Amino acid sequence: MKCLRTSLSVLVLTLLSTLSFAQTDAMSTMKPSVQSDAQKSFDEMKTLEGAWDGHVTTVPARPEIEGKAVHATLRVTSMGHAMIHEMRGADRPDDPITMIYVDGDRLLLTHYCDAGNRPRMTGKASPDGKNVEFAFLDLSGGTQYGHMDHAVFTVIDADHHVEDWTYMEPGDKPVHAHMELTRSK
């Protein structure tokens, strides 16, 4: 009787382990779920990780920043779930910080502005996948000094990209900043 119980136990364990391996094998051959447009756009943004240098041009011209050198750093953080964008202009004591992340089915950008507010924008990739455009969603903090309203990141190649930012001055007067950036690291 003891021999029969031992044999049955071994048989049951063998069957269970066979089923477990079969299930694991079946799961590993399953196709991954379809990636959302927001995740695809975020993955495109992640290719910009690194340090970048360039110059800024503005429309209308703003003499205080026109033609000045700019340095941008983009870094993927939070185990790949967020990207931090820091931009420093010449003669600036510090820099605004921008966070880019996927929230459900949306790509979001939160800009921690030196104007003392935090505009959020929703992003979407162009059909050709070469740029990601962010449109104003909402804002925390005041608009006394204006706020960032729009941003476009355009990938040229692995070592070049363009950033276009639109700032709304008080009275809803747009100032467009254009930066052609080259990878420095």
Claim to verify: residue 13 and residue 42 sit in the same structural domain: no
Kindly list the distances between the CA atom of residue 174 and the CA atoms of 58, 99, 168, in Å, as whole numbers in the listed order.
Answer: 10, 22, 4
Claim to verify: residue 20 and residue 83 sit in the same structural domain: no
Q: Do the Cβ atoms of 120 and 142 come closer than 8 Å?
A: no
Backbone torsions φ then ψ of 69, nearest 5 degrees: -70, 145
Residue type, 5: R
CATH number at residue 115: 2.40.128.20
pLDDT at 95: 81
Overall number of domains in the chain:
2
**pLDDT tens digits, one per residue of 67-104:** 999 999 999 999 999 999 999 987 777 788 999 999 99
Residues 6+ apart with CB under 8 A from 9: none
For the ranges 13-22, 66-75, 123-132, which has the lowest average pLDDT? 13-22
Structure-model confidence comparison of residues 89 and 21, the more confident one: 89
pLDDT at 1: 52
pLDDT at 33: 67
Q: Do the Cβ atoms of 121 and 114 come closer than 8 Å?
A: no
Claim to verify: residue 26 and residue 44 sit in the same structural domain: no
Domain of 11, in residue numbers: 1-30
Share of the chain above pLDDT 70, in %: 82
- pTM here is 0.80
For the ranges 32-36, 62-66, 68-72, 110-114, which has the lowest average pLDDT? 32-36
